[in-house]
Structure 1
Amino acid sequence: MSSLPVTQDDYNAASFKAPTPRQVLRVALNLKFLIDKVIPIDYDINQVTCQHSRILNHQVIQLTREACGGNRNDKESLRKYQSVLLFALLKVSGWYNELSVKELHNTELYKLRSIAAQHLCKIIIEFEENVDLHYLFLQMLLHRYSMNENDVDSEPLSVVELAADMHATIVIGSSGFQRCISWLWRGWIIQAPDEPTTFVRDATISSMSFKDHFSPERIKTPKYQNILQISFSILFLILYTLVVNEKDSTHVEPFDLAEVIFYCFTLGNLIDEAVKIYYIGFAYLAFWNVFNDTLYTIIGVSFVLRVVSLGLVSTKYSAESWDMLSYRILSCAAPFVWSRLLLYLESVQFVGLMLVVLKFMMTESIVFFVMLLLIMIGFLQGFIGLDASDGNIEIAGPIMRNLVMTVVGAGGFDTFKSFAPPYAAILWYFYCFIVTVILLNILIALYSNAYQKVVENASDEYMALMCEKTLRFIRAPDEYVFVPPLNIIELALKPLEYIISEKNSDRLTHFIMCAIYSPTLLIVAILEVRTAKRIQYNRMTKLQDDANESDEVWDLTDGFVDNGSNLFFDENNDGIHDTRVKNSRALKKQIEAERADPHFPVSPEWHKKVKKSVQPVQEGFQTGVGWELFDLYNQAETRYKKSENKVDELTQAVNELVTLVKELKMKQE
């Protein structure tokens, strides 16, 4: 029995009540005490993070669960408090990260403890994945919890959000975590409409009715929003190409259709950026946001100049001059427009990894540019001082230009040939040596280090990137999703909210969304109906919803037969029937082929030998001695038990002998 909210309809009936922030704090303090004792010294990291570690052994994992408290005789009580276990472990990991910065003499120990906390998260996630997947997803990973920190309750966060913010790749890389992200990405789990701290399963995913999936609500799905963004980005690129490369006259021409649509696209994206900055604040600003804002600024300046060229504003320059300047500025946006595609293609693993490498490189290069700036300012001041020594500052501009060009290898000594000899030459050669020999090699080393960090942990870094991308769509979900530039339509509908009733406004918005998204929703509905058949089949066979997605060679009973028929009708169980027929036929043929030769099948003893040849990994993990020493431990344990039995037998014999002696004495008396 579980109190999990499964869908939106039965969420209100769920009796789950989250632990209070003070209770969450106590759980975190208990876990910190445990990890402090379990990791007293700086162990080798592989001893802590390896599978079936002897340090994070079975007993430690059990103590980790018990740190949450609760009534051991009440399963619901245990689940209530253990639901915050992952959240508390990540908080403790964050504490250790802070301590590693504050107490540098123990930084390695604190980093190891932080990793240990994350590894415990991974172990628990992978265990719960095989016990209760929905409890793991809805209560442990996605429910938003708050902790009391210095008498102030923190902002509610889920484990998924906290792990992404901390860049906890160990946790993000666990299989259960990735399945949760996959379900969020597909829209199988959505945020409860009336409860911002809770997520529920979408009831429509298993419906085989076409009309249930032909709904604008499905556009909230991160996967479909991403596809729409990619489509609009490609269309934006095509429009930009038409606007820039189709100009074939020196005369000023009015806006054509391509230009109007192109500038509408830009306006929609500008509105989207402005709204997000308004609601989120400057914390929203990141590399790609600044990149996009720079692009939109260039296009905006070009648009203003284009308007001026049409004579709407009188100036002393000719319209042709303004028009030419407008197109030249717009042409400078080409690298930004093409590079912008990378942002929306980051879900492709190769592109995503390259973007992660780029991000790390940009972060590492901050040190280089700070050092370069300080050195350039110092040498610039020296050169200007030499120039001003005769009372006149004459070549400050060429000096600054030469210093900058030296960084890219295009500097020269010509500027300093007849300038304050020999002091200018000494300063110049000294500057060249520092920049070209020292600083540029430091930059190369930093870039190499950044690349190596990402490549060594490529899979986890890509999974972390996809986690962040998924969260961008669901962290602050809109009631109605209008993907830019369609948000211009949403903006146009805003005034109607003050004129008509809320109910009619919702109906109108729903109708408009159905109209503009109808091509997308048609494809979505067809695909989701086919997926719903497989989900229904999985539930009939007591499997998880994401089972049987592929037909593996080594499993004759997996996979799903989808003939694609009857998509527009509710009763369409053909795929389920065909899958059962396929599986039974495959098993029958395999058995017949194996029985064709009576000497072909292996004997039952072969399976027993295989089981005996397996190393005692699980037993070694539970005892804490490791599989390498378990046989020795088992022998010692067996001998100890035998010796105890012999001691017990000897003690019993001595007691019997004493009793007999007493009886003989009594008889003699």
Structure 2
Amino acid sequence: MGHWRNLFTADPGRTRHRVEVERRRLLPAYAADESDASDASKEIAKVALRLKYQIEQVVSCEVEENALTNPNSRIITDDVVETAKQAGGDDYKACVVYCLLVCLRWFKIQSSVELWDSDLHEVRAVACEVIAKRIIESEQNQDYVMRDILLKRYSIFSEGVETDPANVIERAVDLHALRIISSAPYQKCIQYLWKGWICQEEGNPTNFVEYSEKSNTGYWVHFHPDRMRTPLYQNVCQILFSLIYLAVYTAVINTVNPSGDVDVVEAILYGMTLAFICDEAIKFWKVGWNYLEFWNAFNSTLYTILTVSLVLRFIALAHSSSTHDEQRRLYNELSYNFLAFAGPMFWMRMMLYLDSFRFFGAMFVVLRVMMKESLIFFALLFVVLAGFFQAFVGMAQVDADIPLHRNILQGMVNSIMQSPEFDTFQDFAFPFGIILYYVFNFIVMTVLLNILIALYNSAYEDISGNATDEYMAIFAQKTMQFVRAPDENVFIPPFNLVEIVFLIAPFEWWLPREAYARLNELVMGVIYSPLLIVAAWVETRQAHRIRWNRRHGEEDDDSAQEWEHVAKEVNFDLDDTWKEHVVESTPDIKVDSCTYELRELKEQVRMLTETVKLLTQEITEKKVDGAS
């Protein structure tokens, strides 16, 4: 669309086999001084190399992952974290977390290349995450964390060229660094981006700036088309338009036109489909093959079916109702059959926009991993099906009276669905056909299906225990899809047709840039006015809350809970007795019982040693006095 920048990439792989995708960068680079940027990237690369060397020394052999992630880890100690902080010195200390993510990617690449040390490199990658998370959470200045550590973009000098800039928020999502994503400062930053409290700078999308009017209580200040860049509002729009799309489809499928004419509701349905197709095509053209993922393929399949339905409808309309009535009816019925065939996909498509809700997001993580695991099953199933199908076809050709491909294929598919048809294969080169069919059922129903169940069970156990962190990763990825490289003029489908027909085609090619931008703002203000009315009201209420929090010295996003209201009447600093009892009875959870006992034993040995020294000194003095 007009002035589209590079769009977000598809979600990179989670496993070591897809780490090579991380070598690609799709973000534009903006630098005021190329020589200064090059020098900075070289220094940042040195910081990454220092950290890589440190982690290789700290994790010098394979250890259990728990030994690194444990809060009381004897490997990732406070001294190790403090040393990592010093890797960048005073000038580049803010890029240490980014460099740890660079090291994380390096170790994952090594893990996929050096298979003999794969586990060691995986553990070192975990160490990078743990250290990065502890650095982020230990920093007291939250503004510094969000501005310089999380959102500021850095580059490294690699293979004689400077990589495109990226920040910690983006790289953590790309590398699926769950421990960093689940940290409190990271999630706070994501929430600020989601609400539009932090947005990309006008004219330079590589820089993130604070929304200057977030504490302004004026209503009309927030009634501005630029607020449609906020991920929250874009997500609401997508959900609303998807519900309308589903309602229009429901109306079409329940009002069949026997004459084959295209009515108004069908025209709306196919018009919205055209808008979605244009949106997908533009994104694919901008990004390329890296844009393709499961949901893109799913949507493309749905749009293809609807396009076939529309083409068949036009073919039916091309036939006269008087001379070719039968063909017109045939193509019309076929068109509606394709339209009805897409019904389940219309409803499943809604799941794409509901993953911002926690319940759906956690379930989608499990489903996505299950679908990925099922690829192993389908690969094995294809090989088994091909072999047995060829055998059955060969047996059927011996007897010309036995039907071929269709019955054979249907019987084999029914076996996969656990409804075998033994009668179909009874006469296939008896007894070879029926024996082979028994073998086929045993392999499919007993072996392969149980393998699929085991894979699903393993995937569910792996994800369900970590579902919250996985949901936060999905939410972060969804947020970055909106803010990573947004369109200057946000026209959400089907409004992108308005942009194409009424703005780009007649005005963009000759109208000055500033005038064209004002025209876009005017059009966006009109078409998004219902949503902007509600959004401005919500932001006005948020502004009052922000001002109240600032007057009381709280964070902008702070929201007082029930216990906080009650706590205003209690001051534990004045209640010395209760505070003293708590201090005396509070255990040191940073030290396990064995270490605690050893410390006590060490203290007793120290006291005993001092006592023995004193006794020895006294005895020596007495001997000296007696001798004199």
TM range (shorter): 0.7 to 0.9
Q: Which amino acid in the other structure matches residue 310 of structure 2?
A: F
Question: What SS is found at the alignment partner of 1:401?
Answer: helix
Alignment of 1:500 onto 2:520: no
Corresponding residue for residue 427 of structure 2: 418
- Quick one: which of 601, 607, 620 aligns to 2:579? 607
Shift of 1:457: 0.5
Corresponding residue for residue 597 of structure 1: none
Aligned residues: 581
Q: Which amino acid in the other structure matches residue 552 of structure 1?
A: E
Corresponding residue for residue 198 of structure 2: 189
Question: What SS is found at the alignment partner of 2:199?
Answer: strand
Corresponding residue for residue 6 of structure 1: none
Give the alignment of 1:261-660 within 5 angstroms.
261-311=268-318, 318-388=327-397, 395-492=404-501, 493-495=503-505, 496-547=507-558, 549-556=559-566, 587=569, 604-616=576-588, 629-632=598-601
Corresponding residue for residue 24 of structure 2: none
Shift of 1:636: 6.4
Change (3 A) 1:201 1:320: same
Change (3 A) 1:445 1:270: same
Alignment of 1:56 onto 2:66: no
Q: Which amino acid in the other structure matches residue 44 of structure 1?
A: E
Shift of 1:635: 6.1
Structure 2 CA distance, aligned partners of 1:292 and 1:519?
28
Q: Which amino acid in the other structure matches residue 85 of structure 1?
A: V
Corresponding residue for residue 203 of structure 1: 212
8 Å contact kept, 1:617–1:626:
no
Change (3 A) 1:644 1:483: farther
- Quick one: which of 107, 116, 120 aligns to 1:109? 120
Deviates more, 1:277-286 or 1:49-58: 49-58
Deviations 1:455-498 (A, max 9, x none): 01011011011011111111221101011111111112102112
Structure 2 CA distance, aligned partners of 1:331 and 1:483?
26
8 Å contact kept, 2:130–2:179:
yes
RMSD: 3.1
Q: Which structure carries more relative contact order (alpha carbon 8 Å, separation 6+)?
A: 2
Change (3 A) 1:47 1:270: same
Structure possessing the higher radius of gyration over alpha carbons: 1
8 Å contact kept, 1:306–1:326:
yes
Q: Which amino acid in the other structure matches residue 294 of structure 2?
A: F
Shift of 1:629: 5.0
Normalization by structure 1: what TM-score? 0.80
Change (3 A) 1:415 1:512: same
8 Å contact kept, 2:319–2:327:
no
Shift of 1:305: 2.0
Structure 2 CA distance, aligned partners of 1:19 and 1:488?
45
Change (3 A) 1:312 1:401: closer
Q: Which amino acid in the other structure matches residue 420 of structure 2?
A: G
Alignment of 1:143 onto 2:152: yes
8 Å contact kept, 1:54–1:626:
no
Alignment of 1:259 onto 2:266: yes
Corresponding residue for residue 579 of structure 1: none
Change (3 A) 1:382 1:521: same
Question: What SS is found at the alignment partner of 2:205?
Answer: coil
8 Å contact kept, 1:31–1:92:
yes
Corresponding residue for residue 89 of structure 1: 100
8 Å contact kept, 1:100–1:107:
yes
Structure 1 CA distance, aligned partners of 2:228 and 2:187?
22
Give the alignment of 1:137-176 within 5 angstroms.
137-176=146-185
Structure 1 CA distance, aligned partners of 2:599 and 2:277?
64
Change (3 A) 1:102 1:479: same
8 Å contact kept, 1:145–1:197:
no
Deviations 1:419-452 (A, max 9, x none): 2122222222111111111001000111111111
Question: What SS is found at the alignment partner of 1:482?
Answer: coil
Structure 2 CA distance, aligned partners of 1:505 and 1:100?
51
Structure 1 CA distance, aligned partners of 2:477 and 2:602?
46
Question: What SS is found at the alignment partner of 1:20?
Answer: helix
Change (3 A) 1:277 1:537: same
Structure 1 CA distance, aligned partners of 2:365 and 2:147?
29
8 Å contact kept, 2:355–2:361:
yes
Change (3 A) 1:604 1:364: same
- Unaligned ranges ≥5, structure 2: 1-31
Deviations 1:407-428 (A, max 9, x none): 1123312222222122222222
Question: What SS is found at the alignment partner of 2:489?
Answer: coil
Structure 2 CA distance, aligned partners of 1:194 and 1:344?
29
8 Å contact kept, 2:214–2:539:
yes
Corresponding residue for residue 62 of structure 2: 42
Change (3 A) 1:387 1:135: same
Change (3 A) 1:48 1:153: same
Structure 1 CA distance, aligned partners of 2:76 and 2:219?
50
Deviates more, 1:59-68 or 1:413-422: 413-422
Change (3 A) 1:637 1:34: farther
Shift of 1:386: 3.0
8 Å contact kept, 2:111–2:117:
yes
8 Å contact kept, 1:47–1:55:
yes
- Unaligned ranges ≥5, structure 1: 1-11, 71-77, 558-585, 595-600, 658-669
Deviations 1:621-649 (A, max 9, x none): 9xxx9667555566667888x699989xx
Deviates more, 1:488-497 or 1:20-29: 20-29
Change (3 A) 1:284 1:444: same
Question: What SS is found at the alignment partner of 2:562?
Answer: coil
Structure 1 CA distance, aligned partners of 2:231 and 2:288?
22
Q: Which amino acid in the other structure matches residue 263 of structure 1?
A: Y
Change (3 A) 1:615 1:121: same
Deviations 1:67-114 (A, max 9, x none): 22x2xxxxxxx2x41221111111212222233333334333222221
Structure 1 CA distance, aligned partners of 2:185 and 2:603?
34
Q: Which amino acid in the other structure matches residue 244 of structure 1?
A: I
Question: What SS is found at the alignment partner of 1:83?
Answer: helix
Identity %: 37
Q: Which amino acid in the other structure matches residue 341 of structure 2?
A: C
Deviations 1:267-309 (A, max 9, x none): 1111110110011111111111111111111111112222333
Change (3 A) 1:282 1:326: same
Structure 1 CA distance, aligned partners of 2:259 and 2:131?
70
Structure 2 CA distance, aligned partners of 1:216 and 1:346?
25
Structure 1 CA distance, aligned partners of 2:364 and 2:68?
31
8 Å contact kept, 1:617–1:627:
no
Q: Which amino acid in the other structure matches residue 538 of structure 2?
A: L
8 Å contact kept, 1:361–1:450:
yes
Corresponding residue for residue 568 of structure 1: none
Q: Which amino acid in the other structure matches residue 253 of structure 1?
A: D
Question: What SS is found at the alignment partner of 1:84?
Answer: helix
Shift of 1:617: 5.2
Structure 2 CA distance, aligned partners of 1:92 and 1:261?
51
Change (3 A) 1:602 1:494: closer
8 Å contact kept, 1:387–1:396:
no
